[in-house]
Amino acid sequence: MNEESFPEGFVWGVATSAYQIEGAVAEGGRGPSIWDTFSHTPGVVDNDDTGDVACDHYHRWREDLDLMVDLGIASYRFSVAWPRVMPDGRTVNQEGLDFYRRLVDGLLERGIRPLMTLYHWDLPQSLDVGEAGGWLSRDLPDRFVDYALVLGKELGDRVPAITTLNEPWCSAYLGYASGEHAPGRTEDALAYRAAHHLNLAHGRAVTALRDVLPPTADVSVALNLLQVQAASDRPEDVVAAQHADLIANRMFLDPMFGGGYSDELRTSTAGLTDWSFLRPGDEAEIGVGLDSLGLNFYNPSRVGAGPGAPFPGTHRAFFADIPGPRTVMGWPIVPSGLTDLLLRVHRDTGLPIRVTENGLGAQEAVEDGVVHDTDRIDYLHSHLTAVHEAMRQGADVRGYYVWSLLDNFEWAWGYDKRFGLVHVDFADQRRTPKASAHWYADVITRNGL
Ligand code: FCB
């Protein structure tokens, strides 16, 4: 591997998720999800945008797969909408399954490797009823196992790699503590209960899937581990940053890879949760072996004792400013954070890693048939250089997936913030590959920068 090139077999991919691109929310027997309910609540998403139509990928998937062929994409990371496959969260809807079977077959026919995420936040609404529903319910891990088994049995023979959860941190802390995401709850203590049930769902699903998947299957989880830096050397800032690392990262890493929730985590969360949701045997169920790990990265976080925006799930840590360039999302651009994080995860887990998401959000338009997104090219270039550096220092990184193939429904930010390599005109659904798409195709051709 020289300075510019990646090892042979390095996987170049793009990523999307179901609710963000599919649309067709009431077609093919799909039931409502918590994101349908949330996005239809006035005032919670910018411009009151919803995923009702999104990129209309449900109807245009062939065209979208052909776009990937044009770019030379080797692997496509997509997610399955649980409410399409099980509209009430429990009963199988064959029409929904058929959609994903066609999609997967379409990928394989085009020589693109599917990387299938089971849960990218669109929980069936019928599983989130009442005060203690959704991920607060101890029943959810088993519902998730049933769902995972349906996909494993139906598509496991043709999907070589399956990811259980996407970014459980967001599901737990943004869904239940800060309320920025569905279901929009705002009590810190709830986030810890939700996080534990997500962990349990992951562990049980991995164990169940092993029974139905071929032995060659690659089973993983995709985490958005936070690269947390202390705001300063002051002891109170260092303590706040350690606290943030514990609740955001080790809440997932400890049980998945460390043998159980650590004493440090338990001590650090005293007063935030009483851990009454944890039962004997749970940690063993969560800590099952994985074949690889997905890592989503956009920016590091600087954290201190305040002042600043509160860190979700706690009142003891606050975000501090990171000086330097930012994206229109307000996210600092610090590629070295990705090198540091990859090396940490390599040390902590020893697993092969895929960068399952990385990309830049911008507000941009087509001018004379072209989108000159040089800022995105710079971002991707510098982050790929950071990946390369982590590999040079020993991290076992097997692939890189740009977020995203298409401009799409960016959760609480709606359609205003665009992450695609391909521009989508949401009025007529026209797709226009941006300059970054052509650049990425070139990177793929030369297997390097
Ligand atoms: C990640 C999400 C993904 C997308 C990017 C920008 O947190 O997994 O769906 O919204 O952020």
Structure tokens at 30: 């799909």
Place of tokens 């409410």: 83
* pLDDT at 321 exceeding the cut of 90: yes
The model's pLDDT over 422-436, given as tens digits with 9 standing for 90+, comes to: 999 999 999 999 999
pLDDT for 4 equals 77
Domain ranges of the chain: 11-446
Query: Residue 267's CB: how many other CB atoms inside 10 A?
Result: 10
Known active-site residue 109: no
173 ligand 1 Cβ < 6 A: no
Rounded distance from Cα 166 to ligand 1 centre (Å): 9
| Strand bridging mode 422-425 / 430-433 | antiparallel
43 CA → ligand 1 middle, Å: 20
Per-residue pLDDT tens digits for 80-128: 999 999 999 999 999 999 999 999 999 999 999 999 999 999 999 999 9
Confidence category of residue 1, pLDDT binned at 50, 70, 90: low
In order, the DSSP letters of 360-397 are --B----BTTB---HHHHHHHHHHHHHHHHHHHTT--E
How much is the average pLDDT of 132-146? 98
Q: Is the CB of 180 under 6 A from ligand 1?
A: no
Query: Does residue 167 have an active-site annotation?
Result: yes
**Average pLDDT of 343-360?**
97
Instruction: Tell which CATH architecture fits domain 11-446.
Output: Alpha-Beta Barrel (3.20)
Cβ of 163 less than 6 Å from ligand 1: no
The pLDDT of residue 43 is 97
Give the pLDDT score at 197. 99
**pLDDT confidence of 172, banded at 50, 70, 90?**
very high
Q: Determine whether the shortest distance from the Cβ of 409 to ligand 1 is under 6 A.
A: no
Q: Which of 368, 444, 432 is nearest to 401 (CA)?
A: 444
**Burial class of residue 308 in the structure, from the number of CB atoms within 10 Å of its CB (0-12 exposed, 13-18 middle, 19+ buried):** middle
| Amino acid letter, 195 | A
199 Cβ below 6 A of ligand 1: no
C-beta of 403 in contact with ligand 1 (< 6 A): yes
CB 163 within 8 A of CB 223: no
In the prediction, which pLDDT does 52 show?
Answer: 98
Rounded Cα gap, residues 260 and 250, in angstroms: 10
Check: CB of residue 343 under 8 Å from CB of residue 394.
yes
pLDDT tens digits, residue range 287-310? 999 999 999 999 999 999 999 999
Cα–Cα dist 37/59, whole Å: 22
The rounded percent of the chain whose pLDDT value lies above 90 is 99
Substitution candidate for ligand 1 out of 406, 410, 413 with most atoms within 8 A of CB:
410
Q: Which of 115, 180, 296 to mutate to test the pocket of ligand 1 (most atoms within 8 A of CB)?
A: 296
Residue 3 has pLDDT above 70, yes or no: no
Distance 362 CA to ligand 1 centre (A): 14
**What's the rounded mean pLDDT across residues 394-417?**
98
User: Residue 270: its pLDDT value, please?
Assistant: 95
Active-site residue, selected from the candidate residues 154, 180, 283, 357: 357
- Indicate whether residue 301 lines ligand 1 (CB < 6 A): no
Q: Is the pLDDT of residue 281 over 70?
A: yes
Reference 273, options 169, 174, 191, 177; nearest CA is 191
Distance from the alpha carbon of residue 51 to the mean position of ligand 1, in angstroms: 14
Q: Whose CA is nearest to atom 9 of ligand 1?
A: 17
Residue bearing the CA closest to ligand 1, atom 4:
410
pLDDT range class, residue 161, cuts 50, 70, 90: very high
At 34, the pLDDT band (50, 70, 90 cuts) reads very high
